[in-house]
Amino acid sequence: MAPREHIVLVGPPGAGKGTQSEKLLKLGFSHFSTGDALRKEMATGSDFGKQVAEIINDGNFVDDDTMLEIIKRNVEWEKEAYIFDGYPRNLAQAEKFHNVLMKGREYKVLWLDVPEAVLLDRLQARRICSKCRAVFNTESLPSRKGCLCDREPCGAELSHREDDREEVILKRFRIFQDVSLPMKAFFKEKGCLLEFDASLGIDEVSENIVKKLAY
Ligand SMILES: [Zn+2]
């Protein structure tokens, strides 16, 4: 069945957003990348594109209103059901997302919940191939070759990702709690929120998502 509504994927780092996003793509959703939209806008050479390029080239971040405008110009509503991942990121963006961008459109927010302790265990167990960048997990997705990559013909050594150090993980988690968590009550009030226990296995989470979306 084809997707009928747009999706916003939200969860703390390590909640499995990337994996779930890949699974949703197979159901017929398109991934909306704010980075791609930004680059596309600058490449048009329009006045607005030039303004955006100026902001970026000065080393500044694009503000919420400009970002919204960029997204509006680059979505193809008539053709696609989108997955938004990494946007909106805070309450102010969520309000504009709902009131402006999604006005008159159907969407659901898939909120991946993971307790801090589970997240830490999971991130600590993550291993990445130093050569082909394949991702493993000593608990849930071990390499068949132990500490070497089992992709043929790679076989390179697996390493603990640099930013997986405990304090960095905790910092990213707390930034998420501070910046993004306030969106949860907002989306709930709007009737768009679907919550998932993302401490379950990847496939179980994915099945729950499909069930709730009823595709
Ligand atoms: Zn490899």
- Number of domains present in the structure of the chain: 1
Q: What would the mean pLDDT of 84-113 be, rounded to a whole number?
A: 94
Distance CA 6, CA 4 (A): 7
* Residue 166 pLDDT greater than 80, yes or no: no
Q: How far is the CA of 142 from the centre of ligand 1 (A)?
A: 13
Take residue 78 and report the two structure tokens written for it. Answer: 């008539």
* Residue 165 pLDDT greater than 70, yes or no: no
β strands within 14-141, DSSP E: 30-32, 82-85, 107-113, 126-129, 135-137
Q: How far is the CA of 34 from the centre of ligand 1 (A)?
A: 29
Q: How far is the CA of 130 from the centre of ligand 1 (A)?
A: 7
Q: How far is the CA of 1 from the centre of ligand 1 (A)?
A: 35
Q: How far is the CA of 135 from the centre of ligand 1 (A)?
A: 9
Per-residue confidence (pLDDT) for residue 123, from 0 to 100: 76
Structural domain of 92:
6-29+81-127+180-213
Q: How far is the CA of 143 from the centre of ligand 1 (A)?
A: 10
| 141 belongs to a structural domain | no
Q: How far is the CA of 180 from the centre of ligand 1 (A)?
A: 34
| 108 belongs to a structural domain | yes
**Whole-number percent of the chain with pLDDT over 70:** 96
Local confidence band at 106 (pLDDT 50, 70, 90 cut-offs):
very high
Per-residue confidence (pLDDT) for residue 20, from 0 to 100: 93
Per-residue confidence (pLDDT) for residue 169, from 0 to 100: 77
The number of CA neighbours under 13 Å toward the Cβ of 193 is 18
- Contact between 186 and 91 under an 8 Å Cβ cutoff? The reply is yes
Question: Residue 95: which residues within 8 A CB-CB, separation 6 or more?
Answer: 186
| 103 belongs to a structural domain | yes
Q: Which CATH number fits the domain that encloses residue 189?
A: 3.40.50.300
Q: What would the mean pLDDT of 164-185 be, rounded to a whole number?
A: 87
Q: How far is the CA of 47 from the centre of ligand 1 (A)?
A: 44
* Residue 103 pLDDT greater than 60, yes or no: yes
| 44 belongs to a structural domain | no
Q: How far is the CA of 149 from the centre of ligand 1 (A)?
A: 5
Residue 137 sits at φ, ψ, to 5 deg, of: -145, 125
For residue range 26-45, what is the model confidence (pLDDT) as tens digits?
989 999 988 888 889 999 88
| 158 belongs to a structural domain | no
Take residue 61 and report the two structure tokens written for it. Answer: 């971040």
Residue 204 sits at φ, ψ, to 5 deg, of: -65, -45
* Residue 1 pLDDT greater than 60, yes or no: no
Per-residue confidence (pLDDT) for residue 89, from 0 to 100: 92
| 198 belongs to a structural domain | yes
What secondary structure does DSSP assign to the chain, as a single string?
----SEEEEE--TTSSHHHHHHHHHTTT-EEEPHHHHHHHHHHT--HHHHHHHHHHHTTPPPPHHHHHHHHHHH--TTT--EEEES-S-SHHHHHHIIIIITTT--EEEEEEE--HHHHHHHHHTEEEETTT--EEETTTB--TBTTB--STTT-PBEE--GGGSHHHHHHHHHHHHHHTTHHHHHHHHTT-EEEEETTS-HHHHHHHHHHHHT-
Q: How far is the CA of 33 from the centre of ligand 1 (A)?
A: 26
* Residue 96 pLDDT greater than 80, yes or no: yes
| 57 belongs to a structural domain | no
Per-residue confidence (pLDDT) for residue 161, from 0 to 100: 67
| 114 belongs to a structural domain | yes
Local confidence band at 2 (pLDDT 50, 70, 90 cut-offs):
low
Q: How far is the CA of 147 from the centre of ligand 1 (A)?
A: 11
